[in-house]
Amino acid sequence: MPPVTPFFADFHRRLFGKAPLSALQERLRHSPQVPAICHYQELFGKLVPQELLAAQPRGINRRQRIFSPALTFWSFLGQVLESGSSCRDALRQLNAWWQWHFPTRALPSHDTSGYCQARARLSDSSLQALCRHVGQQLEQQATEEQLWLGRRVKIIDGTSVSMPDTAANQAVWPQSSAQKPGCGFPLLKLVGLFSLHSGALLDLSIASQRHHDIQLARQLWSQLQAGDIILADRGFCSFADLAQLQAQANDVVMRLHQARKTDFRRGKPLGPNDRLVVWTKPLQPTRNLTKQELKALPATLQLRLVRYRIQIPGCRCQEIILVTTLLDAQRFSAAQLAQLYFRRWGVELHFRQIKILLGMDVLRCLSPAMVRKELLMHLVAYNLIRALMQRASLIYHVPLQRLSFKGSLDSLHHFADAIHAAQAKPTRQRQLFDTLLLTIATDQVPLRPNRSEPRVKKRRPKNYHLLTKPRRSMVLSQHRSRHRAKPS
């Protein structure tokens, strides 16, 4: 047994040389790829660039550890895909893998601190680059039939997520000002750029609730390619953003902002309820527009306004006014623009899939650094599932929009174990993977055009009192009222 002293931790290494590596470290060191400790690695391993998860020559990930960046990533991904999985659960998976490969050796420590520290060492930039890489691969595989009149369309929208109420999270992402101190939760605002054709998340920006969505959206305009069409709701409709997008050869289709008044008796008529108009830039800077940015804007913009009505039996008729830079009424008719804007609702379903089905609505990490990593891991998981759905759609020639995300996630959970168990039989493994794709392709949502589902809850919650003061103060007040003397 090598001599070890608690007072001179570096004494043994200096006297006898470098400490020998453990069996698992030797396996990780000499293996060309990380062992498939996670059953999802068998499915998504080819989609994830190994260089983004490799050990770095410098920095905190330069050392050879049991929890390497790749091993930690796949374990973290398994936690996200299996909503509710804890760090202890991920460590138990490693223990089971160890017992299978090294049955005569002692198991690693059951303490989760090592794995938690390994998760903290994952690079935010690598996770974001991985999310972009998978999203770009999905976008490149979109077929010509999926494009809108030969053009690529990107949807932008924002949402918010909650997290544990810790002092560190509150300092970075404070709760709503309407909440009393100690009664609310930190809120993070997220603006994502999605592909209309593949549903992939291409890029994102995050900030606190005190930032407007349009401020975060401006950080994403540089990621667009020339010729892209931006589809957005009225919150992103501003003169400055329309001018910037038009200057970089991008077109927009947005709903007209409610504060901007319009008169269809003015402008050049292109058809019924279809006009060419000229907008002039604002005279004064706004909260989201500085003097320098205002000065750099063009004096006028030529735009197109399209008005149409939504008439659904049993519902009140609603008027929609769109503003767009697609001025060619022959190539882009008003009816086609209205149908395109109708598809904008798909981004709400994408956020629902990430937040509800993958469990990102309420994050669980206690520090801002880990909250960012947990958020990015959810987005990576979403794009990987989208990659499976797109492959099933292309192989079996079914519309991608008809495939069920929840059905794909359920199929993934069950087939991943079988595919991982067949890793020693490549032919059987390919058969199982083909069956998985066929299962995804046949699980289609029904066609429900013009479906209206109000955001209301039918099931009543439990009749508990609301937290109106910090929990400790409320517990003390209840304790005192319980022991208060009753009148005789």
Give percent of the chain with pLDDT exceeding 90: 46
152: alpha, beta or left? (left if phi > 0; alpha if psi -120 to 50):
beta
State how far the Cα of 74 lies from the Cα of 127, in Å rounded to an integer: 12
Residue 349 in this model has a pLDDT that exceeds 60 = yes
Which helix or strand (DSSP H or E) is residue 435 part of?
A: helix 426-442
Question: Which of 296-300, 327-331, 364-368, 481-485 is the least confident region?
Answer: 481-485
Beta strands in 31-169 (DSSP E): 153-162
Give the amino acid at 97. W
What is the signed CA dihedral for 113, 115, 120, 122, rounded to 10 degrees? 170
My answer on whether 251 and 168 are in the same domain is: yes
470 domain-assigned? no
Which of 55-59, 70-74, 405-409, 481-485: highest mean pLDDT?
405-409
CA-nearest of 242, 240, 320, 327 to 276 is: 327
Q: What is the CATH number of the domain that holds 209?
A: 3.90.350.10
The reply to whether 11 falls in a domain is no
Whether residue 4 has pLDDT greater than 80:
no
CB 38 within 8 Å of CB 75: yes
The mean pLDDT of 439-459, rounded to a whole number, is: 82
Q: How far is CA 156 from the centre of its chain?
A: 12
The end-to-end CA distance of the chain, in Å, is: 76
- Does residue 137 sit in the same domain as residue 201? yes
pLDDT at 479: 57
Q: How much of the chain is in helix, strand and coil states, percent to nearest 5?
A: 45, 15, 40
- Domain count of the fold of the chain: 3
Q: What is the pLDDT of residue 43?
A: 85
Mean pLDDT computed over 118-128: 90
Is the pLDDT reported for residue 10 higher than 70? no
* pLDDT (0 to 100) of residue 339: 92
Q: Which residue among 122, 139, 160 closes a domain? A: 122
The reply to whether 160 and 54 lie within a common domain is: no
Q: pLDDT value at position 486?
A: 58
Query: Do residue 250 and residue 158 come from a single domain?
Result: yes
Specify the pLDDT at position 65: 61
Q: What is the pLDDT of residue 61?
A: 56
114 in any annotated domain: yes
* Residue 453 domain flag: no
Q: In the numeric block, which tokens belong to residue 274?
A: 């279809």
- Where is 479: in which H helix or E strand? helix 471-482
Residue 35 has pLDDT above 60, yes or no: no
Looking at the fold, whether 204 and 338 belong to one and the same domain comes out as yes
Residue 235 shares a structural domain with residue 306: yes
Residue 474 falls inside a structural domain: no
Token pair in block for residue 484: 């208060």
In terms of domains, do 61 and 103 share one? yes
pLDDT category, 412, cuts 50, 70, 90?
very high
- Residues 93-107 have pLDDT tens digits of 877 877 776 777 666
Identify whether 480 is part of a domain.
no
- Concatenating the DSSP letter of every residue in 373-387 gives HHHHHHHHHHHHHHH
Mean pLDDT of 390-418: 92
Calculate the average pLDDT of the chain: 83
Range of the domain at 233: 125-357
- Residue 117 and residue 76 share a domain: yes
479 domain residue, yes or no: no
- The Cα–Cα gap between 69 and 129 comes to 15
Contact 238, 281 (CB under 8 A): no
DSSP conformation letters of 127-156: HHHHHHHHHHHHHHT--GGGSBTTB-EEEE
Residue 481 lies in a domain: no
Answer yes or no: is pLDDT of 294 > 90: no
Model pLDDT, residue 6? 44
Same domain assignment for residues 102 and 233: no
Residues 340 and 212 in one domain: yes
Domain stops at, among 92, 122, 152? 122
Same domain, 132 and 230: yes
Residue 30 tokens read as: 């000499």
122, 143, 164 - which closes a domain: 122
Evaluate if residue 31 carries a pLDDT over 70: no
Amino acid at 289: L
Report whether pLDDT(18) > 70: no
Same structural domain, 52 and 177: no
Q: How far is CA 281 from CA 248, 291, 294, 301, 467, in A?
A: 18, 12, 8, 8, 47
